[in-house]
Structure 1
């Protein structure tokens, strides 16, 4: 008997798994029209596939890409409106998922995964497709998937097996429901259960729906009781990795994020002070900031301007130092590497440190971070984690990494297509280098 197709919003018969895979392959190859796909898989999945294809999602993508969050994932989790309701989600879903082969995920409204917990074995398998905190599982980032499509449509739904747009996700099934602010109705994020075919049942849909309602009620009760209206002060957060402008991110008394854009020189100074908690003299800063003769008068003038940007309560003098602890994206990458969490470090690394900086100290730190992360990824590859190496090689820094592509080509357990791709990339590099 066919299973009711709850992912389509109406009671229709689901196609068999083999039929579904065949329709997906025909659609991706451009060999069938929209009406055929809709009649085969239903309008919800068909329209999601069309949005995924139009948005440029690669069905052969190894997993979701890293999210471009305002700040790093730890910072985002600390300040997210769903954080106070995490105990409710754990009690209703995570506790029962610990030995059931199921992964519980909570995402922000933009599709960034905030928490991924549950059965340890299932969580490790999910890491292979980058179903990890900090990854972008919006529909535009990962194609058709339950949390991403639930957010796109603002409705609960289920995505089973080959209904996923990306092939790497097709061994999984998932059920997700959006969560809203109890006062404004604004979309806060989504709750998702990911696992085998059992999570695409009507009972699972009812459970996830009930959990979303419980979370909204919990947030409403906290608001009525006045709890969480004035959260504990959060540490300022420094964002200096990747191609975006460097930012100083703070949280007001109501938990709202505020980002102040920094000049390149101010970003240099804050990075150096964060790495030198003991403080730096004006003379020492001058040497670290510019290999030419930067005079201390210029340094003092920059410090005076910086104090106005970040607040005098955060910056001391004689020596110049940060007066209160801060967090930073570069610090989080180093911390993850120190803890042996290479996947976490890669998730938190959107790109090099302050690429426009002329500071020799920043250049040294940039090289140190990039080289350490690359070496850690290569080491993980020798222990059976080619997925991490593939993600590194897909980044701008890794694209021309010939040694990395050679290591990927020679990795054990690689598919024939992935090995052929590595060989082809090496051939292209050799051609370019003559």
Structure 2
């Protein structure tokens, strides 16, 4: 084992508990380039200890066969399985001892690929199909920590919380839906700590981006098909109408400038409903999927009365809106979660300069802020106003925050969020 690096003791002073014990010596398998303390690992260890996980004898939870099949069908990463597997095949020539894993957003292993001997070896640590490798189940590891932070993560040797994993290293990258920023799952490569290359994290991150690009291409192709199907139908429609896909993305419009996306009911059905920002509408199914949305001309959009921003689940923020039109919820992207959090804390509002400073530490980045807030206002019509940017005065805003400040928006690097964690 290498001699301790300078600075480790100072950085970890006061950590306490088993996490301090793990950091008292260099981490086995840590890449030579990692010459600074790994705060992402320290924070993950603290989360694992707070949950009371058993480091010595703990094993990941396992879901049943029926639940595993259901997760495979509904996870949203199923269409990417072949893309991910094909993208990682070239690595086998240079890294023969590795296992490729695809999980869902809960960290449950949906599929894995690798050499037979390696699959048997990782069976011993519980890296099997149906096993949950979230931090709640297995503590610090590539899959769980990538899900918790929303960022690519490499976990090397003794950095793992479970002792059974100390001879292994892994690199994982989260997969997000480019349509709405929703977390879909993780792609992960695991191998022996002694042979796992330091390039694996960059490689897995690149493959994840290719997979997300494939999702984006499929989305645009599907939108083109929907537009072609809707065109002759909408030519006969009077008044205002939209053609949207099953996720609410607008493919075509008549009589109006289309919003980027419509917040459809959780289980849309043909007939009348109230849609945020549009008012009373009638939904009609389109051939091949999607909906034709007829907008009633005489109806005004009911004003929302209460907004709940839920940040209690790491990397899975959501916004719920309540009012005379009923209740609806939408997942929000990491950047929009940051913006909504800041506006929820500062009810009097923030200027674009103040938001740029809070988000980027650079008051000059007002163009980026204005573009993001503009997208946010289009998506959540009737909630936000400007000069300064803020929630509408008549709306009751509630923030649901994690029990531990350190768990607030773990993927965020915004200076204001970092200060709130402390």
Give the TM-score normalised by structure 1: 0.44
TM-score (norm 2): 0.45
The structure richer in helix per residue is: 1
Query: In proportion to residue count, which structure has more strand?
Result: 2
